[in-house]
Amino acid sequence: MQVTDLDRVRTLIVGIGALGGTIATRAAAAGMPVRLAMRTAESARAIRSSGLRVSGVGGPAAAASVEVAALEEYADRFDLVLLATKAHEALEISQLLSHRLAAGGTLLCIQNGGVAKMLFDRLGEVVLGGLSNLGATMVEPGVYEQRNAGHLLIGEVNGGASERAERVARFLGGAIEMRTTPDLPGAVWAKLLLNCSVTTIGAIAGRTMRHYVATPAGREVFRRAYDEALAVALAGGTRPQRMIVDPIPPEGEYDAWIDRVLEAYGDIKPSMLQDFERGRRTEIDFINGYVAQLGRELGVAVPINAAITDLVHRIERRELQPDPARLDELARLGG
Ligand SMILES: NC(=O)c1ccc[n+]([C@@H]2O[C@H](COP(=O)([O-])OP(=O)(O)OC[C@H]3O[C@@H](n4cnc5c(N)ncnc54)[C@H](OP(=O)(O)O)[C@@H]3O)[C@@H](O)[C@H]2O)c1
């Protein structure tokens, strides 16, 4: 994104769900020059007549009139495309989106896990990575709730100082809290380690981490999934950043370290469990599946992450249900 006059940044937000809808509402309410892309012309028409509203943390905001259309209806070029679909859809439409970028344009992706890196490998330097610590839900199309005072953290996919990340942050900062980092890989892996362990294992067990880690099998599966993912990060040359808890368990202090993880994340209902409950496709291929794929490429053993990925696919297909007994099966795997 090269435009220096922030009023002239031609911006397209793609995916007007929980996160994209929250950002789009706050941007449109602030008078920012954003256009919105939805999956179908029908859903775009509905938003055009209803407008957008957000409530919750950060205060209420509304935009009665928004420029919105189905993605394929756009023929224009944009300086900034903010990609806020789920991971699979991001991969599916990325090529199309690259043709919607103006010269020097930026595609900012904010999905968890390996998405930004995969898109960078396909599309190159146009891709800027991001992570959302902002939590949001969609009450119904056009109506969103911001759940926390979080921010979007953005930076270059392979790390390094970035003038364009600063510009994008200044622009989007008109809508939501933005931060930049020269170490996006470290931040992405810090979150990925927790998603691979705290979140996915909780979803498989149908329990919070505090519940499942109290059993020997739950504790064992957590330790092995986390250690494998950490080994993959380090083998790939990334040291995960510290978030609330040090990402590398200190030697000889494992129990105290687990307690700190529990204190920070032990009572969160796993978002993947909500995907199971709603019969929605999960993002497992970009979380444990991504770790398993990278592990194979780097020669790091990843049996638990591979088995977790398969298990989640079976739960998605309704062949199995989330149950703590699943963790006994995983713990019995050799490794
Ligand atoms: N929500 C959060 O609090 C949060 C926090 C951190 C990270 N994230 C990450 O942010 C990403 C988005 O999450 P979300 O919760 O906002 O998901 P979501 O509510 O499912 O929103 C995704 C939106 O993308 C739309 N979409 C799908 N394919 C499209 C296409 N081809 N063209 C245009 N729009 C399309 C979907 O429309 P349809 O309904 O028509 O399919 C849906 O409205 C995920 O990767 C998630 O992991 C979310």
User: Tens digits of per-residue pLDDT, 98-115?
Assistant: 999 999 999 999 998 899
Two tokens at 94? 């990325």
Q: Residue ranges per domain, the chain? A: 6-181, 186-331
Ligand 1 atom at minimal distance to the Cα of residue 138? 19
243 band by pLDDT with thresholds 50, 70 and 90: confident
pTM score > 0.85 for this model?
yes
% of the chain residues with pLDDT over 90: 94
Two tokens at 144? 């969103």
6 band by pLDDT with thresholds 50, 70 and 90: low
Q: pLDDT digits over 181-202, tens only?
A: 999 999 999 999 999 999 999 9
Q: pLDDT digits over 115-147, tens only?
A: 999 999 999 999 999 999 999 999 999 999 999
Query: 232: closest CA among 192, 283, 269, 264?
Result: 192
Q: Which of 68, 85, 96 to mutate to test the pocket of ligand 1 (most atoms within 8 A of CB)?
A: 85
Q: What is the distance between the alpha carbons of residues 195 and 144, in angstroms, rounded to a whole number?
A: 24
Beta strands in the chain (DSSP E): 11-14, 34-38, 52-56, 61-63, 67-70, 78-83, 101-109, 127-132, 136-140, 143-146, 152-156, 178-180
Q: Is the pLDDT reported for residue 95 higher than 60?
A: yes
Q: Is the pLDDT reported for residue 335 higher than 70?
A: no
CB 305 within 8 A of CB 243: no
* Residue-level pLDDT at 333: 85
192 lines ligand 1 (CB under 6 A): no
Indicate which residue's Cα is closest to atom 9 of ligand 1: 111
Query: 136: closest CA among 51, 52, 56?
Result: 56
* Residue-level pLDDT at 223: 97
Indicate which residue's Cα is closest to atom 41 of ligand 1: 39
% of the chain residues with pLDDT over 70: 97
259 lines ligand 1 (CB under 6 A): no
Query: In this structure, which CATH number among 1.10.1040.10, 1.10.15.40, 3.30.300.30, 3.30.70.100 belongs to the domain 186-331?
Result: 1.10.1040.10
CA of 15 to the centre of ligand 1 (A): 6
For the chain, the straight-line distance linking the first and the last C-alpha, in angstroms and rounded, comes to 46
* Residue-level pLDDT at 8: 81
Residue 153 Cα distances to 5, 215, 282, angstroms: 22, 35, 23
Query: Can you tell me the mean pLDDT for 39-47?
Result: 97
38 lines ligand 1 (CB under 6 A): yes
- 8-state DSSP, 266: T
CA of 83 to the centre of ligand 1 (A): 9
Fold classification of 6-181 is Rossmann fold (3.40.50)
